[in-house]
Amino acid sequence: MIRRRNVKIIATLGPASDTPEMIRKLFDAGADVFRLNMSHLDHANLKRVHAAVRQVEEDCGRPIGILADLQGPKLRVGEMTGGSAMLEKGARFRFDMNKAPGDKTRAPLPHPEIFNAVSAGQTLLLDDGKIRVLVKAKAKDHIDTEVIIGGKLSNRKGVSLPDTLLPMAAMTEKDRRDIDMALELGVDWVALSFVQRPEDVAEARKIARGRAAVMAKIEKPQALGHLEEIIDIADAIMVARGDLGVELPLEQVPGWQKRLTRAARRSGKPVVVATQMLESMISSATPTRAEVSDVATAVFEGADAIMLSAESAAGQYPVEAVTMMDKVAQSVEGDPTYPGIIYAQRAEPEATGADAISAAAHSVADTLNAAAIVCWTNSGSTGLRAARERPLFPIIVLTPVPATARRLALVWGLHCVLTEDAKDLDDLSDRAGRIAFSEGFAQPGQRIVVTAGVPLGTPGATNMLRVSFVGRRDRD
């Protein structure tokens, strides 16, 4: 199955879509990677859904990526008398360690780390930013605030601290149990929620030990101050606009989306744009014009993947949402302005052999009007460097490693094919031509550009480029 677009689609699985039959429909509609949200999955259901995706993968004969998204630390107020209380603008409101139910003057906040870190003049956001309070004073066991934006505060609503660097890790004990199970099952990507600093990502990578790639979700303002270091240590980033839009002024989110996307592209790291992309399709068979434009913007920016959350997990139209996203992506990539925008954002090659070969492959393929670039890889690094160039013709990745093919299913423009390692240089070129033909990317007589590492099978040693003709015997 060939995707007629370069950007990839991630679909979140949930009650509306986690059966083998629905997963197959979503894959056929265009989903390349499936997200498993650990906020809503116990381990028994994680095993069930993981097995269902792998069964669909086997039936389709095409590598499918699985992303396990960790819940991360959730900061919440305690219980409220009667279930809720109305906070009035201008009123004083206290948070304390008392477990007694709250009222319109106070609420329990069972998180000592907040009391230790917050300072006067900082802001606390409640219930996804609907309520805003300003810290006026604090003591060891309470925080006194003024209500800036009022509203109804209900039991267990979330608390965000956009101005405060909290002395807590991005992974909770639940996350540690979840990541251990996900790695045991063999997921391809692990997404780390509420990253604040590079050390958070380093901890997850230490646990993963290469068994899965680690994606840093950028959803806290504190992460923006360490962006380059986080991108450097992570395998990919996600622009998680939901929580980022709570803790940042909403008008700043589009600009940060562009900056995050371009920073990741410069580094050659995959970048995912997520949250509320087709939100109205949770209950409507068609999206709004604004949502279509939002998806299109991410595609024009050259994001590696665009993601559906509740639209595919719990919505009434999961297949239609994936189909719509696929249509928008194909339309954007066929737009006359798309090549110029993508080329204008190309990053200069880094001073490495792999980047030099990838840049040369792009240039040679352009000059020869080649049918495709074919990359042999074990670790996946060759495919990543080829994708960083954003060539506007197919990139076929050949690998003998299933885990590599599955991870690269998330990366812009890569069509991954499992095949055994090449025996020699002739086999390397001949098989590249046969596969380019059989997969529908090239016809006899057309040229392809082949990259690989010599000695063959050496990880991270891309140092060879060949121009090869697709011969008639490649049809066999």
User: Do 225 and 293 share a domain, yes or no?
Assistant: yes
Residue 374 belongs to some domain of the structure: yes
Looking at residue 79, its amino acid is: E
Q: What percent of the chain has pLDDT over 70?
A: 98
Pair (198, 156) in one structural domain: no
Tell me which H or E stretch contains 147: strand 142-149
What is the pLDDT of the chain when averaged over all its residues?
94
pTM (two decimals): 0.94
pLDDT value of residue 456 = 75
Q: Does 204 map to a domain?
A: yes
Print the domain residue range for 97.
81-160
What is the reported pLDDT for 170? Answer: 87
Domain contains 2:
no
Q: Are residues 192 and 52 in the same domain?
A: yes
Mark whether 300 and 216 lie in a shared domain: yes
What is the CATH number for 92?
A: 2.40.33.10
- Of 224, 209, 217, the closest CA to residue 255 belongs to 224
Instruction: Say whether both 85 and 105 belong to one domain.
Output: yes
Same domain, 156 and 218: no
Both 393 and 311 in one domain: the answer is no
Last residue of a domain, one of 303, 334, 365: 334
CATH (domain of 31)? 3.20.20.60
> Which of 307, 163, 164, 329 shows the shortest CA–CA distance to 240?
307
Q: For 415-465, how does the pLDDT look when each residue is reduced to its tens digit (9 = 90+)?
A: 999 999 999 999 999 999 999 999 999 999 999 999 998 887 666 678 899
Cα–Cα distance measured from residue 63 to residue 61, given in angstroms and rounded to the nearest whole number: 7
**In the structure, what pLDDT confidence band is assigned to residue 474 with cuts at 50, 70 and 90?**
very low
Is residue 342 domain-resident?
no
37 and 16 share one domain: yes
What confidence tens digit (pLDDT) does each residue in 16-44 have?
999 999 999 999 999 999 999 999 999 99
Query: In terms of Cα–Cα distance, which of 362, 359, 397 is closest to 376?
Result: 397
Domain identity same for 186 and 239: yes
Q: What is the pLDDT of residues 107-164, one digit of tens each?
A: 999 999 999 899 999 999 999 899 999 999 999 999 999 999 999 999 999 999 999 9
First-to-last CA distance in the chain? 19
Whether residue 187 sits in one domain with residue 316: yes
pLDDT at residue 418 in the model? 97
Which position has the token pair 């060759």? 382
Among residues of the chain, what percentage have pLDDT more than 90?
89
* 100 and 229 both lie in a single domain: no
Average pLDDT over residues 239-266: 95
| CATH code for the domain in which residue 449 is found | 3.40.1380.20
Q: Which residues are catalytic?
A: 35, 76, 217, 275
CB atoms within 10 A of CB 47: 14
Residue 402 lies in a domain: yes
The per-residue pLDDT for range 48-81, each reduced to its tens digit, is: 999 999 999 999 999 999 999 999 998 999 999 9
Task: Taking residues 236-262, report their average pLDDT.
Answer: 95
The total number of structural domains that make up the chain: 3
Residue 289 per-residue DSSP state: H
